[in-house]
Amino acid sequence: MTQDTFSRRTLLIGGVALFAASPLRVLAQSAAPAIHVMKDPNCGCCSAWIEILEQNGFTVTTEPSLGTLLMRYKLDNGIPQDMVSCHTGRVAGYMIEGHVPAADIRRLLSERPNAVGLAVPGMPYGSPGMGPETQREAYEVFLIHRDGSTEVFSTYPAA
């Protein structure tokens, strides 16, 4: 019986080691959505939003941008002026403007609408990176269509 236990244990440890070194593991890690964020390097709420995305499995890279350069980037990439916020991300060809929850980004990537992306205009308190969700003010996430029009993608009531 000791020989059987040793054999099973050896087989189990060998299988775990093989999986840990396998290409499937690398593929699973690279499947995390990658988002590139343009942001003011001094903005704390942008950094808080990025941390939330990373905690939700996104791979995030950032690039500093300020003032008119950042605004030009937003407008050039289809973000209507009334939808702007403090930071702008790009994921899988979609623009993500402001404090959009990770769940909405995942839904966007799952549904793949023919759209520019998502926006949470302004900086609503309690949205991801903007204070505790338990004290959240009501806000909406908008889907930005290619013609510049918008529609409500999801709604978050006040806490």
Q: What is the pLDDT of residues 98-136, one digit of tens each?
A: 999 999 999 999 999 999 999 999 999 999 999 999 999
Residue 21 has pLDDT above 50, yes or no: no
Q: Mean of the pLDDT values across residues 15-43? A: 65
- pLDDT, position 144: 98
Measured distance CA(86)–CA(35) in Å, rounded: 16
Least Cα distance to 100 among 117, 77, 112, 81 occurs for: 117
Name the pairing type of β-strands 59-64 and 115-120: unpaired
CB 73 within 8 A of CB 38: yes
CA distance 35 to 88: 10
Tokens of 41: 């390097």
